[in-house]
Amino acid sequence: MKKLIYVFLLAITSLPLATWAQDMSNGADNFYTSDQVTVQKVTFKNQYQMKVVGNLFIPKSVNSNERYPAIVVGHPMGAVKEQSSNLCATKLAEQGFITLAIDLSYWGESEGNPGHLVSPEIYSDDFSAAVDFLSNQALVNKDRIGVLGICGSGSFVISAAKIDPRMKAIATVSMYNMGAAARSGLRGSTTLEQRKAIIQSAIAQRFVEFNGGDKVYIPGTVNKLDDNTNAIQREFFDFYRTPRGAYTPKGEKPELTTKPLLSSIVKFMNFYPFNDIDTISPRPMLFITGSVAHSREFSEDAYKKAAEPKELYIVPGAGHVDLYDRVNLIPFDKLTSFYKKNL
Q: For the segment 102-151, what is each residue's pLDDT rounded down to a tens digit?
A: 999 999 999 999 999 999 999 999 999 999 999 999 999 999 999 999 99
pLDDT at 70: 99
Number of domains in the chain: 1
Q: How much is the mean pLDDT over the chain? A: 94
Tens digit of each residue's pLDDT (9 = 90 or more) over 172-224 = 999 999 999 999 999 999 999 999 999 999 999 999 999 999 999 998 899 99
Which residues in the chain belong to E strands, given as ranges? 37-45, 51-59, 68-74, 98-102, 140-150, 167-173, 285-290, 310-315
Structural domain containing residue 312: 2-342
Model pTM score: 0.94
Residue 101's nearest CA partner among 157, 175, 179 is: 157
Residue 121's nearest CA partner among 281, 8, 273, 260 is: 273
> For the domain that residue 292 is a member of, what is the CATH number?
3.40.50.1820
Whether 257 contacts 246, CB under 8 Å = yes
Residues 6+ apart with CB under 8 A from 123: 104, 105, 153, 156
Residue 44's nearest CA partner among 112, 142, 126 is: 126
Tens digit of each residue's pLDDT (9 = 90 or more) over 53-66 = 999 999 999 999 99
Distance CA 244, CA 38 (A): 23
pLDDT at 316 over 90: yes
pLDDT at 18 over 80: no
Phi, psi of 103 (to 5 degrees): -90, 125
Distance CA 233, CA 14 (A): 9
The residue-averaged pLDDT of 304-332 equals 98
